[in-house]
Amino acid sequence: MSEPAALIGELIRLSTPVGRTLAGELGVSVNDLAALHHLVGRTPLGPAELGRRLGMSTASATALVDRLERGGYLRRRPDPRDRRRIVLEATEAIAERSMAAIAPLAEAVAAIPLDDDAREAVTSYLDEVLAAMRSFAEGTALPDRT
């Protein structure tokens, strides 16, 4: 049996080829997929916020948004809280295609047997792993577990 930290490392490593496969299924680039990941099923974002989340310059983010809009993957609409701004949202078509493309993997993972105690333990552990990863990504202090 592998150590949990090593398995988490392998999950992180596999996220890149899984992302490439999903991008290929959807007919988009990996960067386009990263943008859609921030938009599908989530609160709409402004173009500047999307660019920040992707670590892109304003010019690169604008080109990406224009390309995704032309492809029918997202739409711009007025921000309901501030009509001077626009927000981006994924189209229902790409949301449905994304869910269909990832469904085989999601179904395989969901079919892995876990009893209630194991599910609770795995969920608790992964919640802690995610908290540590979020802290690391944001450059904030990591929890001291020693």
pLDDT at 102: 96
What ranges in 27-115 are assigned the alpha helix state H? Answer: 30-39, 47-54, 58-70, 92-110
Are 79 and 87 in contact by the 8 Å Cβ rule? The answer is yes
pLDDT at 138: 86
Q: Is 59 helix (H, G, I), strand (E, B) or coil?
A: helix
- Separation CA 36–CA 33 (nearest Å): 5
Report the 10 Å Cβ neighbour count for 37: 16
pLDDT at 44: 87
Per-residue pLDDT of the chain (146 residues; tens, 9 = 90+): 569 989 999 999 999 999 999 999 999 999 999 999 999 988 889 999 999 999 999 899 999 999 999 999 999 999 888 888 999 999 999 999 999 999 999 999 999 999 999 999 999 999 999 999 999 988 888 777 76
pLDDT at 137: 86
pLDDT at 2: 67
The contacts of residue 85 (CB under 8 Å, 6+ apart) are 46, 78, 79
pLDDT at 141: 81
Domains and CATH numbers, the chain: 4-112 (1.10.10.10)
Q: Is 2 helix (H, G, I), strand (E, B) or coil?
A: coil
| Residue 87, phi then psi, degrees to nearest 5 | -125, 160
